[in-house]
Structure 1
């Protein structure tokens, strides 16, 4: 949705170098000492990252400056070489007071922002940039992405209003995505223009609302322009027994507790938490989080009933769903080693998809994914064994060379129709012919559960689904009736 021109170059460059260097999102995050979900946010354009982090990524991925050069500012121009002590090119605006007031009532969050601005530059200021970002499930980016793909944040529900003093401010959309909006508030409306001239001050306010099922239990303030004082007030019904805590981070420090604790007061049936800081460091981020005990219990019960169906969640994570002709097509083989780069790219895409779906489900039996399931018509699959720490099994141009006579029946699931599980007979042992990137042919034997996983994926690459393997008269069962989730298959 909307104009992604200022984000796509960096996001695409990061993903490109991560893939060709053979890093999964989790592996790169471990190298950088950050949460894996942050890599997903960067590649989705939901975070920009700090200059220090981008430089570290550039070095780690041996990108020779490509990542840094792709990291654009909001106007699409390359950022200057910046140190944590340096201030970016001045916009001419100083924020004297930055006040945020977030209230939760009747299942909806209401936000009121107030800023007292001073023009300390030499030119009139005619617009001011505002960002709105939501994340229902922080730490579970693919779960949030699936939610917002199905139910994007809309302008109608936001009901955005903005004023400069008593004058209504106009606004134009800069970015419009499922869970992220950027707006230029303009010092003008249909009847008048009221730019902020040098040495003048002006108070701007804007308000919007977000339903509780789209807003996560957090609120973050980022210091993007010089600010003298920043304050946040959170108000919750006392009946929900609210608890609030906070963290801060900057270009020079990782996440740490807020230096001062939010102050808690009771006002009638409201519990109010107030926090403030003076002269916050440029580029610092202050994050307040909360737990609403009664609400949490109610939401958990509601989510059990109204949760996104498993297949819809997988579709939201980019998995091709049943009905797509690609699932019934024999995949094109790689010509190796001449197509080694293409094969490496496809395997990287498969590993990325695995990271996404593992955010949505616990795979106690291990898991696998074939290229056709992410919309790629090539003969590649990846299998993740069930034992922790095991290396992924990469299969290029796989074909079944030999199967054991002994077999058994076990329930299987498929990411392409994840709402059901089916009882499937499979050989207890299999030998697979496959090819290395350098063109070397291989024969590898797999036993029991690993054989089942490998056979499932090889079938995918030949247009066969596990339903095609089920015995006549046997039907899949709804996932709600299956009792083996999170556990390994049973072998004597």
Structure 2
């Protein structure tokens, strides 16, 4: 029995979906949760009992981060389904998948950071295309600082004492559609000591100008930060499908700058940039250019530098005492505390919302203070029982320190991948030791919102480990319970920290 080209294309799509799902260690139910689909529908598509839709393909590509492979298989199927008279796809580039929802895509980004005497000045220009079906009325951007990226405790202290403010940023934004250049209004989403998130609004005093489906526009935003708050790094994170990303550093040649770069993603450890940073001098300026095409989603690129003719900053003496003693002085319970072995009491939300917010605020504040005393470069978490609080709340500060903290209320793990790895873990209640702990590479966690509704969030790799550690605390379990029999704890002095 022969099969038609259309049937073979549908089979290829299903096989590609299954390959990436199993490669991520996800069950069909887990994938359905990530995609927002019914599990039976995912099963039927993979079993070739249902044909894929465009929305399904986009969501699967986004959830599995398949570098466009799933989307390409769908396009092959869809072209055969529509026949030879089908209109040409509106994709910006062959094989480029578009995210669910608005389908907003960055066709080109050019970010320039200039060091002048009194400040670092940043200008970011992005050419946006609305390839979706709904108008776009706002666009999220982020500004983050980190004065000493290799010393998070020192940075936390510094930025708490000298927070970044919108007044000093002199933030401004514009749109340019080729015919006119107009200012854009903006609204604050998050305002923290070391980072800000801002919605750029497609409107100004003259009224709204939404970006309609099929339209293109260039947005530009600019800000300044004094050198006392801006550390020697400049990072770009790929959060939307992007065709071209370029970064320029414009630094004083008299300071003899040396520049290098690193990249990392959710599935790969940090490594050197795959494309080189090029230098050319222009008068008294040293210009460093770097660019890449079609960067993968969720990849972060960081350019770093040092000025060889600028005096090195003095090294501050460490705070006296062992880490556990210093953390205990902040109120963190030690490993043998009885409270750490009791399951935490869940919140009755939304009735207990004020109490829950008070607990979360305490956790966030103590995380910042703990990071000053003893840095945890791979991320850091804290559960309410560690402060002697009988409440099912935990806060996790991701390894990417500019990212906002993750708040978990009444959490429980509902799914865990069969694939695991064994990595060293630490704990604020065990600050003097580390230990090898096996954990799933991906977990799905059901947790509560402030209004009492419940959602499921998927965490992978390092974040999965951090979240699983804190959920264990809320269930009265310690990380040492997870260690294999006979595996010793390692004193922090002997631990090979990154």
Q: TM-score, normalised by structure 1?
A: 0.50
Q: TM-score, normalised by structure 2?
A: 0.49
